[in-house]
Amino acid sequence: MSRRFSLAHLSLIESPPAELVRIAVAAGFDLVDLRLAPATQTDAVYSAGELAGLARDLAPMVRGAGLKVWDVEIIRLNDRTRPRDYLPLMEAAATLGASRMKLVCDTDDHAYACALLHELAGLAAPFGLTLDLEYMVFSGVKSLKAALAVVAAAGALNLKVLVDALHWARAGDRAEGIRAAGPALLNYVQLCDAPATAPVGREALIAEARTNRLPPGEGALALGDLLEAMPPDCVTSLEVPLPPGDDPLIHARAILAAARTVCARLETVS
């Protein structure tokens, strides 16, 4: 099976959902990831009614373009999280035909996070949605090992772990950890590149993740090791923020071409 590529909303975060869909199609992506709940204070905030209307309007556009929504984000786990508040987001994701929803954990209390995850997974299951926990060194779940432990303890079949190339590298994770976990829990990867040396300090790491990623192949991350350890047919989402002043469509095409080159090189070596 050939690898499918998705355009992550962070790559063009200033583009509203409908524009992102149009760019994803024009650039040649198979899939698109939509941020329909805020991850930062500057992201758009939609009411339940706005989410429902947005999903109804976007769904025929997505289908007509031959595209598919892969991932809808984002669910945040913290002491203010009320799982049922995310039902409108889940309903919107289902209307759009999405397969996955992304979660991040802002609490160090993993027992509490597990309880939230279990409830959220139960709410998502009737919509046919898989929930992916994304770990980050500056979040409450800082490594692949920790993320796998939290997901296992939450005990739901539709809970998985998302491996983001940048966070994987900054956590000091290795391909062996991916192979040991296996494809049942790890079947979705986000791709970008970065310098070998991490910035110093939490705020600098956050800034790198949100604004300073590089196209695949233009940095020093061990992307070949990462991709070789992941299932060969797993969806690969490209998360490379648009540099200031660049054209969104040109950027989308460039990061897709870069990712295809990296993956083709891996297949040649294999």
Residue 125, both tokens: 């299951």
Task: Report the DSSP pairing between strands 159-164 and 5-7.
Answer: unpaired
Domains annotated on the chain, with CATH: 5-258 (3.20.20.150)
**β-bridge pairing 188-191 and 235-238:** parallel
Tokens of 240: 């490379």
Look at residue 265 in the predicted model and tell me its pLDDT.
86
| Kind of pairing between the strands at 159-164 and 188-191 | parallel
**1 pLDDT above the threshold of 60:** no
Residue 81: both structure tokens together: 């999280």
Helix axes 144-154, 110-124, angle to 10 degrees: 60
Q: Tell whether the model's pLDDT for residue 242 goes beyond 80.
A: yes
pLDDT at 160 over 90: yes
Rounded mean pLDDT, 192-214: 97
Q: How confident is the model at residue 131 (pLDDT cuts 50, 70, 90)?
A: very high
**How far is residue 269's CA from residue 232's CA, in Å, rounded to a whole number?**
14
Q: What are the pLDDT digits (tens) for 44-98?
A: 999 999 999 999 999 999 999 999 999 999 999 999 999 999 999 999 999 999 9
* Helix segments in 110-183, DSSP class H: 110-124, 144-154, 165-170, 175-181
Q: Could you tell me the pLDDT band of residue 270, with boundaries at 50, 70 and 90? A: low
Segment 166-184, tens digit of pLDDT: 999 999 999 999 999 999 9
Query: What distance in Å separates the CA atoms of residue 137 and residue 143, rounded to the nearest whole number?
Result: 7
